[in-house]
Amino acid sequence: MENKSASSNTNDFLDSAREFYNDQRMTTPENTLATRRMLEEGLGISAGLEPRRQAEALSLHAEILMCDYLNRWNDAGAGEVAKAGQAVERALQLAPDLAQAHYASGLVYRAQGDHPKSLAAFTRAVSLNPNVPLAHAQQGAALMYTGKPAEALGPIETALRISRPDSRVRAMFYWYMGRAHFFAGNYQDAIPWLRKSAELRPNLWYNRLYLVSACALTGDLTAAMAALRDFDNRFPGYSLARVARDEQTNPNNNEIVVEGRRKFHEGLSRAGMRAA
């Protein structure tokens, strides 16, 4: 029989962690790290409690670990990916129909470079709970990573349609939309989406640098160089070599993605980013 006091404590820590991570503030390295610690302290009291709640806690922990890893935050590395994979595996054992667990699984597969499985995981998450905007957006991103940037637009548009107009997470949807256009070679169409993403989420390196590159590739070097100066002021020390290293958190050998990243680097070079 479940201990009611323990159950209450578990519900409290899980609800607090979810609220802290999913509120309307900008996601930052500081609040992902704080939420990770909150979950890691609380997971110890979750053993023996209702399986679905355990699965929710494990899935949220995996999602935050992957957020840190994919964003290059908090020194997250292979160890965090391994922990996230273990958490997802356990969550799916406890609750195979939990959309959140499949969503977190999609992030793990992305970091491992298995984009077909990542797409399948996000598609499963959408089928289990079609009311989660991020799941639709990640499904779109996974379509792009499997070489289908045009097909990516539909799910991302769905995410924008069903999300709250004041939600900061829309910045990620703008980023996915801009990058899908970029990988399709539609650099002019990518610019307004990337600009909106950078304005709403100025603490990310990738939306800003894709904006720099898109401007350069359309021939607007004045805008590209201005955007690069603004980037350098906020993110000092970046180079083409560092960009290439950071991309390895999301390995991909699909020819569309490989060519898209080559053009990305070309645009950055045109704008004046140093090689190393």
* DSSP per position, 228-274: HHHHHHHSTT--HHHHHHHHTTS----HHHHHHHHHHHHHHHHHT--
Report the candidate in 110, 94, 259 with the shortest Cα–Cα distance to residue 184.
Answer: 259
**What does the alpha-carbon distance between residue 113 and residue 248 come to, in Å, rounded to a whole number?**
9
pLDDT for 2 equals 41
pLDDT for 226 equals 98
Residue 14 carries which DSSP code? H
Per-residue pLDDT tens digits of the chain, which is 276 residues long: 344 444 445 556 666 666 666 654 568 888 899 888 888 887 765 565 789 989 999 999 999 999 999 999 999 999 999 999 999 999 999 999 999 999 999 999 999 999 999 999 999 999 999 999 999 999 999 999 999 999 999 999 999 999 999 888 999 999 999 999 999 999 999 999 999 999 999 999 999 999 999 999 999 999 999 999 999 999 999 999 999 999 999 999 999 999 999 999 999 999 999 999
Contacts of 210 by beta carbon, 8 Å cutoff, 6+ apart: 175, 178, 179, 182, 190, 194, 264
Report the candidate in 96, 104, 109 with the shortest Cα–Cα distance to residue 65.
Answer: 104
DSSP alpha helices (H): ranges in 44-132? Answer: 51-71, 78-94, 99-111, 115-128
| Helices 170-183 and 205-217, packing angle to 10 deg | 40
Rounded to two decimals, the pTM is 0.91
CB 37 within 8 A of CB 17: no
Q: What are phi and psi of 45, to 5 degrees?
A: -95, 0
